Each structure stands twice: as structure tokens, then as C-alpha cells.
Amino acid sequence: ADIQDADGLPDLLKRVKPLYNWLRIVFADSIYNRLAALLACFLAGLMLVIVRRIAGTIGFAVQPRRWVVERSLGWLGRWRRLSKDYEALPQISEVMITLAMIRLMLHRLAHPSRRRLPAP
């Protein structure tokens, strides 16, 4: 809890890269524009793309690539078990996220013309 996200990136990449060896590009916020983050991505064989705010925008503006994360979090928030912090163990939360995404994927495979998923 006392480590900044950008400072914890090297340890995270050491754990994630062996699991997802197909990973080539990492999209990150401007806080990751540090030498340690750039070096960690270079050593892991990844390209770090810093998503920046579009010049001249005032107030809220959808940033490139960030909408993908926000959209996915919105899909997960529709599950009641994921809308609050009900679980005592992080492993249970991980299983619930996996189940939610499996349900979403199965719905899209079964009903390709229906965009909206019915409530769980």
C-alpha cells in the first residue's frame, strides 16, 4: 500500500509477462512516464504507450484507450457481487470477475445481434 503504482510496475511485469507471453504493448497513464517504468517495460520486451490528454481539452474528455477500461468496469459493475466489496479473499473476487466475463462472452456468442446483456 505504500508503493506508488509506477514504482510497482517492475515487480508486476515480472509476474505478468511469463503468464501472458503474447503481450507486446502496455497502455499507461502519464504517471508511468518515468525512467523506472520505461526500463521495466524495455527489460520485459514490452512497448510502453503513454496515453495523454488531448491538447486543448477543458474539463472531462474521453481519452484514447481509457474508455476500454471504463467500459469493462461498467460491465463488471452490473454484477451485484462485484458492485460492492463482499468477498473476504481476493481469490474469490478474481473468480467472480472470471465468471462475469465468461457469462458476457457466452451471451455474445449465443446472441450476436443483441448488444445488451440481461441483468444477472
Alpha-carbon distance of 96 to 92, in angstroms, equals 6
User: pLDDT truncated to tens, each residue of the chain (120 aa)?
Assistant: 678 878 888 898 999 899 988 999 988 888 888 888 889 999 999 999 988 877 888 887 777 777 777 888 888 888 888 877 778 888 888 898 899 999 888 888 888 777 666 665
Residue 115 has a pLDDT of 66
Residue 117 has a pLDDT of 63
Residue 81 has a pLDDT of 80
Q: In which residue are the cell numbers 503481450 written?
A: 23
Alpha-carbon distance of 97 to 107, in angstroms, equals 15
Q: In which residue are the cell numbers 468496469 written?
A: 73
